[in-house]
Amino acid sequence: MSVDIHPDRYCVHQVTLMEQCDFRAAVEALPRAGIGKTAVWRDKLDAVGVETGRKLLADHGVEAVALCVGGLFCHRAEREFRAALDANRRWLEQAAAIGAPSLIVITGGLADFERDLAGARARALEALGELADDAAATGVRLVLEPLHPMLCGNRSVIGTLGEANDCLDALDRDDVLALALDSYATWWDVELDAQIARAGARLRHFHVSDWLADTRDLRLDRGMPGDGLIDNRAIRRSLEATGFDGPVEVEIFSARDWWRRPADEVLATIVERYRTAL
Amino acid sequence: MSVDIHPDRYCVHQVTLMEQCDFRAAVEALPRAGIGKTAVWRDKLDAVGVETGRKLLADHGVEAVALCVGGLFCHRAEREFRAALDANRRWLEQAAAIGAPSLIVITGGLADFERDLAGARARALEALGELADDAAATGVRLVLEPLHPMLCGNRSVIGTLGEANDCLDALDRDDVLALALDSYATWWDVELDAQIARAGARLRHFHVSDWLADTRDLRLDRGMPGDGLIDNRAIRRSLEATGFDGPVEVEIFSARDWWRRPADEVLATIVERYRTAL
């Protein structure tokens, strides 16, 4: 049996309430459910502005554990690549401004690399290397998140924790680079436990949701923990064996179900699943 | 530059014409397009019966390189597991009867294993081990095909060529067990070239299609080679570096596009893509 998750570790990403709540409504709803942490999503933050966002978090006692999602720097053309790096520098500053210690980054997909997957991966590595000093300057770590291999074409050319570990080995900047583990992206991987152990203290974020047996969409059909096929509890055990004791972050993209329910119902369900499925 | 694919290596799976052609119509259409090989699909064969199927292939000079798809043996309950093994024994006999040297097998998904992925994988290994002697008796090899990790829940708990190699290492029956490489399932894998080299002569089948940039479905939205993001030519080079010179098998599940076009148009397109994209 796993040890219960202390309520201090409850954390719900703003994207989990994407359709129901703007920034303010999300920040108001979380404490009502006993949830004190969130990951801020850039479009929500942009809609209110950084200063208002920072103040709303502070006023409601909600801690931002990360800003999502940065990266998206897989461009072959130098001009677009430079523009993407500059955007990430702004996002690092935004993260610092709202007190978030991490910017979660995904590489972006093949984009204009056509079929040159190795080239796109090299570009991702180059981008992380270039941004490391900016991360150090802002005091915000860059957290690389591998996505599910089904998103290789359009969201992330890094599809396993092993590959992400290889990137961090190559860059040797563990002072400012870290990793995020998303159970939905990685649950299928026979190497998962071994790569979690290898990552060790690099793993600073743990995202959870569930894989529905009748999944209908490649991005927007994630399930509530407990409703699908992922043994989230076993993954948590594996992660905690490395010493991890950070938040358990519920991140659900669900166009057909959870985005259509009242925010309080979604959050109450999550709190129940912290006890029964996570 | 890759060497052109000799027309003797052209091969189109019956499933590529799933909606347009029954067994007879497919066997008639292939030679019209200059294609002399196919992989037979069980439901098409069952509809005409093994003897008629065998005769239709012979009469039209079409060679069956494999029967698809077997396996699907990930059941926890002993009765269902035994029934699945018996079904595979019948399929091995069917393959032998139509002169197909291979039965392509996928493991099946988590099915009734709930969240016990390791248990399901152990069951798959047990099944392959049990069926090895039946394969030897029928003279038909069992060819394990890893599917894309997005199908872990419902079609295959083996999602990488590396994992499939591990299975064959564990079973040590390379006399009757082999591997199939499907570019659609594996193109995203940073380990692909290394695992192809490791597999070597185990790789007896090469399935190709393409990953569409706007993929809409987890199973039935494959693209025609050349229309998507996969560098099929590079994967073929990697495979041929191991000595592989077998058929290049086009296997397209395409509910929205290619299954809706006339068979002759589909096949003419494939023949063109053998020259330009494969």
* CA gap B78, B91 in Å, rounded: 20
Backbone torsions φ then ψ of A83, nearest 5 degrees: -65, -40
Closest chain A residue by Cα to residue B157:
A188
Closest approach of chain B CAs to the CA of A191, in angstroms? 9
Tell me the C-alpha distance between B93 and B87, whole Å.
10
Q: Please name the helix (run of DSSP H) or strand (run of DSSP E) that holds residue B70, with its range, or none.
A: strand B63-71
Determine the pLDDT at residue A1.
Answer: 47
Whether the ω angle into residue A271 lies within 30 degrees of 0, i.e. cis, is no
In the block, tokens 């067994």 appear at B23
| Best mutation target, B76, B229, B235, to test chain A (most A CBs within 10 A) | B229
Task: Report residue A148 as tokens.
Answer: 């599910």
- Tokens representing B269 are 């397109």
Distances (CA, A) of B207 to A165, B66, B95, B251: 30, 11, 18, 6
Tokens encoding B115? 């969240």
Q: What are phi and psi of A192, to 5 degrees?
A: -60, -50
Report d(CA B68, CA B56) in Å as an integer: 17
Residue to substitute from B107, B113, B117, B183, interface A, most A β-carbons within 10 A: B117
> What is the DSSP code string of A95-160?
HHHTT-SEEEEE-B-SGGGTT-HHHHHHHHHHHHHHHHHHHHHHT-EEEE----GGGTTTTBS--S
User: What are the contacts of B45-52 at 24+ separation with CB within 8 A?
Assistant: B45/B94, B45/B98, B47/B22, B47/B23, B48/B22, B48/B23, B48/B24, B50/B94, B50/B97, B50/B98, B51/B97, B52/B23
What one-character-per-residue DSSP string does B107-157 give? -B-SGGGTT-HHHHHHHHHHHHHHHHHHHHHHT-EEEE-PPPGGGTTTTBS
Phi, psi of A175 (to 5 degrees): -65, -30
Strands B63-71 and B37-41: parallel
Number of inter-chain CB pairs under 8 A, A vs B: 79
CA distances from A144 to A12, A160, A260, B135 (A): 19, 11, 30, 45
Q: Which residues of A touch B (CB under 8 A)?
A: 110, 114-117, 121, 148-150, 152-154, 157, 159-160, 163, 166, 187-190, 211-213, 215-216, 218, 228-231, 234
Beta bridge partners of B11: B37, B249
Closest by CA to A110, choosing from A181, A163, A69, A158, is A158
Q: How many helices (H) and strands (E) does chain A have?
A: 10, 8
Q: Which of A117, A166, A211 should one mutate to test binding to chain B, selecting the residue with the greatest count of B CBs within 10 A? A: A117
pLDDT at residue B1, rounded to an integer:
47
Structure confidence at residue A2 (pLDDT): 59
Euclidean distance between CA atoms B88 and B107, whole angstroms = 11
**Beta carbons of A231 and B188 less than 8 Å apart:** no
Tally of CA atoms within 13 A in the half-sphere of B227 that contains its CB: 19
Taking an 8 Å cut-off on Cβ atoms, the answer to whether A188 and B149 are in contact is: yes
pLDDT of residue A200: 98
C-alpha angle B9/B163/B242, rounded to 5°?
Answer: 35
pTM of the shown model: 0.97
How close is the nearest chain B Cα to the Cα of A49, in Å?
32
Q: What per-residue confidence (pLDDT) applies to A113?
A: 83
Nearest to B11 by CA among B67, B65, B69: B65
B133: how many CB neighbours lie within 10 A of its CB? 11
* Per-residue pLDDT at A114: 83
Residue of chain B minimizing CA distance to A109: B213
How far apart are the CA of A62 and the nearest CA of chain B, in angstroms? 33
Residue type, position A199, single letter: A
Give residue B241's Cα distance to chain centre. 21
To the nearest whole angstrom, how far is the Cα of B50 from the nearest Cα of chain A? 33
Cβ contact (<8 Å) for B148 and A150?
A: yes
Rounded CA-CA distance B215/B19 in Å is 20
Chain A residues with CB under 8 Å of B215 CB are 150, 153, 218
Among chain B residues, CA nearest to A150: B150
Per-residue pLDDT of chain A (278 residues; tens, 9 = 90+): 457 999 999 999 999 999 999 999 999 999 999 999 999 999 999 999 999 999 999 999 999 999 999 999 999 999 999 999 999 999 999 999 999 999 999 999 997 788 999 999 999 999 999 999 999 999 999 999 999 999 999 999 999 999 999 999 999 999 999 999 999 999 999 999 999 999 999 999 999 999 999 999 999 999 999 999 999 999 999 999 999 999 999 999 999 999 999 999 999 999 999 999 99
* Domain boundaries defined on chain B: 7-276
Cβ neighbourhood burial of A149 (10 Å; 0-12, 13-18, 19+): buried
**Strand, helix or coil at A41?**
strand
CA distance B149 to A160: 11
Q: Answer positive or negative: Cα dihedral of A208, A265, A2, B163.
A: negative
Contact yes or no for A115 and B234 at CB 8 A: yes
DSSP B6: P
DSSP state for residue B101 in the 8-state scheme: S
Whether A213 sits inside 8 A of B153 (CB atoms) is yes
| Interface contact flag, B115 A190, Cβ < 8 Å | no
Answer yes or no: do B218 and A213 touch at CB < 8 A.
Answer: no
Contacts of A213 in chain B (CB under 8 A): 153-154
Low-confidence ranges of chain B (pLDDT < 50): 1
- Cβ contacts of B14 within 8 Å, gap of 6 or more: B21, B23, B26, B38, B39, B40, B41, B44, B68
Contacts of B149 in chain A (CB under 8 A): 148-150, 188-189
Q: Looking at the domain B7-276, which fold is it?
A: TIM Barrel (3.20.20)
